[in-house]
A and B are shown apart, each in its own frame.
Chain A
Amino acid sequence: MAQKVAIVGTGQTDHKSHRPDVTGQEMIREAVDRALEDCGITIRDIDAIVIGNMDHFESINYVDNWSIEGSGGFMKPIMKVTTGGTTGASVAIAAYYHVASGMFDRVLAIGWEKNSESDTTGAIITCSDPIWDRFSYSGAIPSLATEATAYMKQYGATQEDAARVAVRDRNNALNNPHAHLQRPITLEDVMSSPMLAHPIKLLDVCPRTDGACAVVFAADGEAQRLAKKPAWIHASAVRHTYSWFGDSTDYDAGLVSLARASQEAYKKAGITDPSRELDVAELYLPYTYAGIKWIEDLKFCGRGEGAKFVREGNTNMDGMIPVNPSGGVISTNCIGATALLRVAEASIQVMGKGGKRQLPKVNKALATGFGGCFWSDVMILGAERS
Chain B
Amino acid sequence: MRDYDRLLRVVSKAMIPFIVVFALYVQFHGDFGPGGGFQAGVILAAGLIFYSLIYGLENTKKLIPPRVVEVLTATGVSLYIFVGMIGIYRGSDFLDYSVLAQDAVHGQHYGIFLIELGVGITVFAVMVIIFYMFVGRRRES
Q: Are A and B co-members of a single complex?
A: no
